[in-house]
Chains A and B, each alone.
Chain A
Amino acid sequence: MSAGNENGVRLDKFKNKGKDANELRRRRVEVNVELRKAKKDDQIFKRRNVTTLVDEATSPLQEKSQNCQATPQWSVEEILAGVNSNNLDAQLNATQAARKLLSRERHPPIDHIISAGLIPKLVAFLGLESPPIQFEAAWALTNIASGTSDQTSAVVEGGAIPAFIRLVISPHPHISEQAVWALGNIAGDGSVYRDQVIKHGAVAPLLSLLAVPELSLFTSGYLRNITWTLSNLCRNKNPSPPLAAVQQILPTLLRLLHHDDKEVLADTCWALSYLTDGPNDRIEVVVQTGLISRLVQLLGSGEVFVVTPSLRAIGNMVTGTDEQTQAVLNAGALSMFPGLLRHHKSNLQKEAFWTLSNITAGRDSQIQDVINAGLVPLMVDVLRKGDYKTQKEAVWAITNFTSGGTVEQVVYLVQANVLEPLLNLLSTKDSKTILVILDAITNIFLAGDKIGEADKLCMMIEECGGLDKIEALQSHENELVYKASLNLIEKYFSGEVQEDQCVAPELTTDGYAFHISENQSTFNF
C-alpha cells in the first residue's frame, strides 16, 4: 500500500521544486543512450566482419587456432547425411561433428547449419535414451542459441525449450549443465523468450538442482552456469519477469549471495540489479527478502566485478521510496561510500555518485546521514577535480541536497567550500548540467535568504569568479539557461538588495530561523 502512495508524495515534493521523477527517468534513459552508443561502436565494425571472413588467414589469431584443430572437419552436407541415417552411431558421430563445427573459435557456420534443417533432428536427439547423443545435441543447440536473435528463434521454434527443461534434471550432471546453459542462452535473448522459458516451467527444476544442503559440493562451473541462467531469467524489462517467478527465485538468490565463489556472487548481484531496475513495487519485493545487509557487505568486498553489480543493485534501490532508501541506509551502506566515491575505476565512481544523488534526493534526515558519513568533502573534491561524467552525477547530488536539505545542512555545504568548484563547472558546454548547477545556486540563495545572508553569499560568489560565469550565461544560446541566469542576476546581483532585508525580519520571528541566525557568524569563512 504505502509504496505507491509514498512515491506519489515524494514526486509531489519534487514537482513543487521543479524537479520531478522525470528527471530521474531521464537519467536512466541517458545511461541507455550511452549503451546504445557503445553498441553502435560495435556496429561500425560489424560490416567489416564480412571482409575478415574472406581474408581470415591474414589474422595471426586465426592461424593459431586452426593449427590447433587436428581432427578434419566435416562439411554440413556430410553431417546432414549422418544425422539422417538410421544408425545411432552414425548419428552420434555426425552430431558430434556438428557440435565441433559450432564450437570452433571463429565464424561457426550457425546459419548454414540452421538452413540445412538440422535443428529438428538435434532437438529430437535430446529425447533419445542415449546420454552421449543427448549431450552432443544439447551442446550444439546451445551454441546455435548463442548467436543472433534469429538464430535463437530457430532453436526455440524447433521445440527445444521443453526438451531442455526435461534434461535439467537428467541424472548425468554434464547433460544437466548443458541444458541449463542452453536455457540461459534462450532466456538471455530477451523478455519474450525469457517468459516462454518460465512458462514452460523451467524455474522449479532449476531451483531443485540447488535444493541441496551444501552448495560447495557442486563443481564451480556447474554452479556458475545455474546462477547465470537464473540471472538471465531475472534479466530484461518491458515487461519485467513475472512477479511469481521472481518471488520463487529470490530465496535461492539470497542463498547464492552467501556462497563464496566470486563469479557466482557476481552473477547473483547482477540478477539482483536487474530485479531492482524497475518500479518501486519491484524494488519492494527485493527489499523484503532482507538481503540488503549482505549486498552492502559485498560493496566492501573489493572485487570490482562483485562491487559493480552490487552497487548497481543498491543504486537502483535508492531510486525507490524514502522507506526503501532508508532500508539501504539502515544496512550501513553509506559507510562503504568513502571508498566507492574515490574508487580508481571511474565508472564505479560515477555510479556511486549517481547512487548518492538519489540518497540526497530523500528526506533531510537522510541527507544528514550523508553528512555524518563524511561524504560532503568527497563530493566537493570530485567537483574540483574529477572525471567529467562523475562530476555531472556529483552536481546532481549537490542540487538534490540543496533542494531537500534544511537550512543548516545547506549552510554546512557552503562551509565545505562547495561554491567555487560548483561555479567553475558552469563553464561546461552541456546546458542540462548548467541548469542543474543554477538550480543548486538558487536553492542555496533561498537558504541564504532565510537567514538574511544572501549578501554574504553574493560576495562569496563574486570573489570566486562565479558572478562572471553567471553573467556570461545570460548570452547562452539555450533559453532556459539564459532565463535562469538572468533570474539569479536580477534577484541577487542587481544593485542594493532591498527585498532581502524585508524578508529577513519576517522569518526571524520564526523560532526555527531564529535558531539558525546564531549560526550567522559561522557562515563566514
Chain B
Amino acid sequence: MFITDIRKEFYDFVVNQRVALLVSSDIDALCACKILQALFHCDQVQYTLVPVTGWQDLGTAFLEHKEQFRYFVLINCGANVDLLETLQPEEDSIFFICDTHRPVDVVNVYNDTQVKLMIKQDDDLGVPSYDDIFRDEEEEGGDDSGNESDGGSEPSGKRRRYDEGEVERRIERQRATREWEARRREILFDYEQYEYHGTSAAMVIFELAWVLTKDTKDMLWWAIIGLTDQWVHDKITHMKYVTDIATLQRHVSRHNHRNEDEDNSLSIDCMRISFEYDLRLALYQHWSLFESICNSSYTSCNFKLWSMHGQKKLQEFLADMGLPLKQVKQKFNSMDMSVKENLREVIEESSNKYGMKDIRIQTFGVHFGFKNRFLASDVVHAAAALLESTEKDESPGDNFIKALDCLSRSNLERLHGGIDLAKKKLMAIQQTVASCICTNLILSQGPFLYCYLLEGTPDVKLFSKPMALTLLCKYLLKAFVRSTRNKRCKLLPLIIAAPMDVEKRTVIVLGIPPESETSDKKNFFGRAFEKAAESTSSRTLHDHFDTSIIELKMEDRTKFLDALITLLS
C-alpha cells in the first residue's frame, strides 16, 4: 500500500526498532541512505546497512537478516516486482520501500499489511484500480463447477445455495469472467509495458526529514545529488527535473535564509548551497576547460569531436570566445581571474552561435569553506566512479562504502579521488564513443540499433558495470543521432552489449529508449528481454533492479537478438 503520512506510517513505526536498511547500488539510493542514516543517528535508531546489487543479493540479504529483524527498509529496490512472492517472508516481516522504479507491482500496491510504499502519490503512477485486476475470493468461489477444471483443491467447508436461474447466470458469469480476464491482461500489459523512474528516493527521504524538522544542509545537499543523479543518468524527463529542482530551490532559500543573520556564514567549515545556472560541462571546475569540453557529451556531440571537422570547429569555437588556448588548457583553478569572470556568459554567447542553446542548466553548487566548490553533477560523477571502480579488485561492498564516504563533507579527499576516477571514466567513454562511431559499430537491426563491444576493446572492463554502460549507451546514441544521415535510424532505440564475466562467458545487455528532446524516458526493453529470453530459452539472468539490464550467455546472443528483432518488428 502507499503510505500517505511518511512520518506516522513509517518513521514513528521504526524509531524504536532495529531496522535492516537494504540499499541498491546507485547514487540516488546512497544519498537517500545518507539522509536516513543521519536521522537514525539523531534518534539513536539501531540499524544494519546492507548494500544490494540485484535481486539475488536482496534475497540473500533478506534470508540472512530475517531472523533478527522485523522491519526492512528498501531503497531503490523492491517496488517493481511482487516482493512477497520473491522473498517469501513470514507474516510479521514488514517492508518499507522507497524506490524510484516504475511501474510499481500491483500486488505491492494492494497489500495492506506487509508492503508499505514510500512513494509520492502525485507521481504519475497510473496504477490500475483494484477491481480491474483482483477479484474477491467470494466471486471465484461462486462458480464452483468452473473451479473444478483446474481441479484437486479441497472442497469448501460451507457452500451457499444461489438463486434459481443459476445455470444461465453461470454461463453469463463465465462469459463475463473471461471478458474480465481478457481486460485484466490488457490493463496489466499496458501498465507494465514501460519501465521508468519516479521521484528521487533522496528527495522523498529528505521530505521526511523536513516533516520531522530535522533537516540539515547536508541532508538537503544529498537530496540535490540524488535528483542530479537522475538527471546525469538520464532517468527522468527534463520537465520532471526542472519541477523537482524548483522544489529543492525553495528548501535551499529557506536554509540560506535561516543562516543569514549568523556571522559564521562564510567561515572555513561552513557549507553554503547555491542555486546555479551553470555549464553542462562535466567536472570543468576540477579539470581544464578544454578537457571538459572534449569529454562532455553535450559539447562533444554537438561538435562531432570524433571527426577532424569537429576538432576544427572546436578550435574555431575557442577562438570565437576569445580565450587564449593556454588558459583554456590549463587547470581551471589556475586560470586567470580575469578570464574566469563572466566565463559562463562568454561561453553561453558563443555556444548559442554554434547551435548549443542549452549549454547552461539549472543546478546547484556547494561551497565547503572558501576553497572547495563542487557542482552537484561533479559529486554524482565522482560517487558513480567510486561505486563502480574497477581499479583494484575490490569487492562491491568496499566500493559502496567508499562511494558513501565521498558524500560526507569530512571526506573531501575521497571526493577528489572520485573526481579523478570520474575523469578517467569520462575519457574512456568519449574514446569508446568515438571509436564506435568511426568504425561503424552501431548496426541497425530493423526495430532497434545494436552495438556490441568486443572483448579486448580498451576499458571494456569498465563497461561491464551497469551505470558506466548506461552512460556510454546514452552518449553513444546521442553521438550516433548526430552523425548518421539516415533519418529513420535517428528514431530508434539502442541496445548495447559488453562482455561481463569472461570466465562464465556472459555479456551484459542493456537497452535504452530512442533519443529525442521530448522523450518520456519510458523503456520497453525490460518486457521485451523477458519475452525474447523465454521464447528462445536463452540463458539469461534478470537480476538487475532495472529490468532493461540483463546478463546473457555469450553463445545465446544471436538467437536472443533474432527473437528480439522478430518480437519488435
Residue of A nearest to B67 (CB): A477
With A105-B142, A181-B159 known as contacts, the answer to whether A51 contacts B173 (CB < 8 A) is no
Measured CA separation A374–B172 after assembly (Å): 49
Structural contact, A189 and B112, CB atoms closer than 8 A: no
Structural contact, B157 and A189, CB atoms closer than 8 A: yes
Interface residues of B in 116-152 (CB under 8 A from A): 129-131, 134-139, 142, 148, 151-152
With A185-B158, A270-B154 known as contacts, the answer to whether A55 contacts B131 (CB < 8 A) is yes
With A44-B113, A49-B136, A189-B157 known as contacts, the answer to whether A348 contacts B152 (CB < 8 A) is yes
With A45-B137, A48-B130 known as contacts, the answer to whether A60 contacts B176 (CB < 8 A) is yes
B63 at the interface (CB under 8 A from A): yes
Structural contact, A308 and B173, CB atoms closer than 8 A: no
A52 at the interface (CB under 8 A from B): yes
Structural contact, B131 and A64, CB atoms closer than 8 A: no
Structural contact, B112 and A44, CB atoms closer than 8 A: yes
* Residue among B59, B131, B156, B176 with max Cβ neighbours from chain A (10 Å): B131
Point out the residues of chain A lying under 8 angstroms from B324, CB to CB. Answer: none
Interface residues of A in 175-215 (CB under 8 A from B): 178, 181, 184-185, 188-189
A65 at the interface (CB under 8 A from B): yes
With A45-B110, A305-B148, A308-B152 known as contacts, the answer to whether A61 contacts B157 (CB < 8 A) is no
B180 at the interface (CB under 8 A from A): yes
Measured CA separation A267–B142 after assembly (Å): 18
| Contacts A45-B134, A48-B134, A181-B159 known; 11 new A-B pairs at CB < 8 A | A45-B137, A52-B131, A61-B139, A104-B163, A108-B160, A146-B158, A185-B157, A189-B157, A235-B157, A308-B152, A429-B63
Point out the residues of chain B lying under 8 angstroms from A345, CB to CB. Answer: 151-152
With A45-B136, A48-B134 known as contacts, the answer to whether A40 contacts B91 (CB < 8 A) is yes
Q: Which of A69, A108, A266, A348 contacts B155 (CB 8 A)?
A: A266
Category for how many chain A residues contact B: 35 or more
With A44-B113, A48-B110 known as contacts, the answer to whether A143 contacts B161 (CB < 8 A) is yes
Measured CA separation A319–B435 after assembly (Å): 70
Interface bits A138-178 vs B (CB < 8 Å: 1, else 0):
01001101110000100000000000000000000000001
Structural contact, A58 and B137, CB atoms closer than 8 A: no
With A44-B111, A55-B131 known as contacts, the answer to whether A307 contacts B152 (CB < 8 A) is yes
Point out the residues of chain B lying under 8 angstroms from A65, CB to CB. Answer: 169, 173
Point out the residues of chain A lying under 8 angstroms from B179, CB to CB. Answer: 60
Measured CA separation A303–B111 after assembly (Å): 36
Measured CA separation A351–B129 after assembly (Å): 37
Of the A-B pairs whose beta carbons lie under 8 Å apart in the complex, a sample of 26, sorted by A's number, is A44-B110, A45-B110, A45-B134, A47-B112, A48-B130, A59-B131, A60-B176, A60-B179, A64-B173, A65-B169, A69-B163, A103-B161, A105-B139, A106-B139, A139-B161, A142-B161, A143-B160, A146-B159, A146-B160, A184-B159, A188-B156, A188-B157, A189-B158, A263-B148, A308-B151, A348-B152
Point out the residues of chain B lying under 8 angstroms from A477, CB to CB. Answer: 64
Min C-beta distance of A314 to chain B, whole Å: 14
Contact residues of B with A, CB < 8 Å? 59-60, 63-64, 91, 110-113, 129-131, 134-139, 142, 148, 151-163, 165, 168-169, 172-173, 176-177, 179-180, 183
A100 at the interface (CB under 8 A from B): yes
Point out the residues of chain A lying under 8 angstroms from B177, CB to CB. Answer: 61
Structural contact, A64 and B176, CB atoms closer than 8 A: yes
Interface bits A411-454 vs B (CB < 8 Å: 1, else 0):
00000000000000000010000000000000000000000000
Point out the residues of chain A lying under 8 angstroms from B160, CB to CB. Answer: 102-103, 108, 142-143, 146
Structural contact, A103 and B158, CB atoms closer than 8 A: no
Residue of B nearest to A68 (CB): B169
Point out the residues of chain A lying under 8 angstroms from B142, CB to CB. Answer: 105
A84 at the interface (CB under 8 A from B): no
With A48-B134, A52-B136, A142-B161 known as contacts, the answer to whether A58 contacts B129 (CB < 8 A) is yes
Measured CA separation A348–B134 after assembly (Å): 27
Structural contact, B110 and A68, CB atoms closer than 8 A: no
Point out the residues of chain B lying under 8 angstroms from A263, CB to CB. Answer: 148
Interface bits A25-50 vs B (CB < 8 Å: 1, else 0):
00000000000010010111101110
**CB within 8 Å: A-B pair count:** 119
Point out the residues of chain B lying under 8 angstroms from A497, CB to CB. Answer: none
Measured CA separation A290–B458 after assembly (Å): 78
Point out the residues of chain B lying under 8 angstroms from A105, CB to CB. Answer: 139, 142, 162, 169, 173
Residue of A nearest to B63 (CB): A429
Measured CA separation A345–B112 after assembly (Å): 31
Structural contact, B151 and A52, CB atoms closer than 8 A: no
Structural contact, A147 and B158, CB atoms closer than 8 A: yes
Point out the residues of chain B lying under 8 angstroms from A316, CB to CB. Answer: none
Min C-beta distance of A345 to chain B, whole Å: 7
Q: Which of A43, A69, A347 contacts B152 (CB 8 A)?
A: A347
Measured CA separation A49–B141 after assembly (Å): 14
Structural contact, A181 and B161, CB atoms closer than 8 A: yes
Structural contact, A185 and B130, CB atoms closer than 8 A: no
Top 4 nearest A-B pairs (CB, nearest first) are A188-B157, A308-B152, A304-B151, A146-B160
Measured CA separation A146–B154 after assembly (Å): 16
With A47-B112, A65-B169 known as contacts, the answer to whether A267 contacts B163 (CB < 8 A) is no
Point out the residues of chain B lying under 8 angstroms from A55, CB to CB. Answer: 131
Measured CA separation A145–B158 after assembly (Å): 8
Point out the residues of chain B lying under 8 angstroms from A61, CB to CB. Answer: 135, 139, 173, 176-177, 180
Measured CA separation A188–B159 after assembly (Å): 9
A399 at the interface (CB under 8 A from B): no
Structural contact, A270 and B158, CB atoms closer than 8 A: no
A353 at the interface (CB under 8 A from B): no
Point out the residues of chain B lying under 8 angstroms from A189, CB to CB. Answer: 157-158
Point out the residues of chain B lying under 8 angstroms from A52, CB to CB. Answer: 130-131, 136
Point out the residues of chain B lying under 8 angstroms from A64, CB to CB. Answer: 172-173, 176
A231 at the interface (CB under 8 A from B): yes
Q: Which of A58, A231, A305 contacts B151 (CB 8 A)?
A: A305
Structural contact, B136 and A188, CB atoms closer than 8 A: no
Measured CA separation A43–B136 after assembly (Å): 10
Min C-beta distance of A337 to chain B, whole Å: 17
Measured CA separation A93–B18 after assembly (Å): 63
* Residue among A37, A59, A267 with max Cβ neighbours from chain B (10 Å): A59
Measured CA separation A512–B179 after assembly (Å): 69
Point out the residues of chain B lying under 8 angstroms from A147, CB to CB. Answer: 158
A228 at the interface (CB under 8 A from B): yes
Point out the residues of chain A lying under 8 angstroms from B176, CB to CB. Answer: 60-61, 64
Measured CA separation A358–B158 after assembly (Å): 32
* Residue among B113, B153, B155 with max Cβ neighbours from chain A (10 Å): B155
A232 at the interface (CB under 8 A from B): yes
Residue of B nearest to A430 (CB): B63
Point out the residues of chain A lying under 8 angstroms from B60, CB to CB. Answer: 429
Residue of B nearest to A311 (CB): B152
Residue of A nearest to B164 (CB): A103
Residue of A nearest to B59 (CB): A429
Q: Which of A40, A68, A146 contacts B172 (CB 8 A)?
A: A68
Structural contact, A58 and B163, CB atoms closer than 8 A: no
Measured CA separation A449–B158 after assembly (Å): 57
Min C-beta distance of B378 to chain A, whole Å: 41
Structural contact, A68 and B165, CB atoms closer than 8 A: yes
Point out the residues of chain B lying under 8 angstroms from A178, CB to CB. Answer: 161
Min C-beta distance of A213 to chain B, whole Å: 28
Residue of A nearest to B156 (CB): A188
Point out the residues of chain A lying under 8 angstroms from B113, CB to CB. Answer: 43-44
Measured CA separation A307–B172 after assembly (Å): 30
Min C-beta distance of A49 to chain B, whole Å: 6
With A61-B177, A267-B155 known as contacts, the answer to whether A106 contacts B138 (CB < 8 A) is yes
Measured CA separation A178–B173 after assembly (Å): 25
Min C-beta distance of B65 to chain A, whole Å: 11
Residue of A nearest to B134 (CB): A45
Interface residues of A in 55-112 (CB under 8 A from B): 55, 58-61, 64-65, 68-69, 100, 102-106, 108
Residue of B nearest to A70 (CB): B165
Min C-beta distance of A472 to chain B, whole Å: 14
Point out the residues of chain A lying under 8 angstroms from B152, CB to CB. Answer: 304-305, 307-309, 345, 347-348
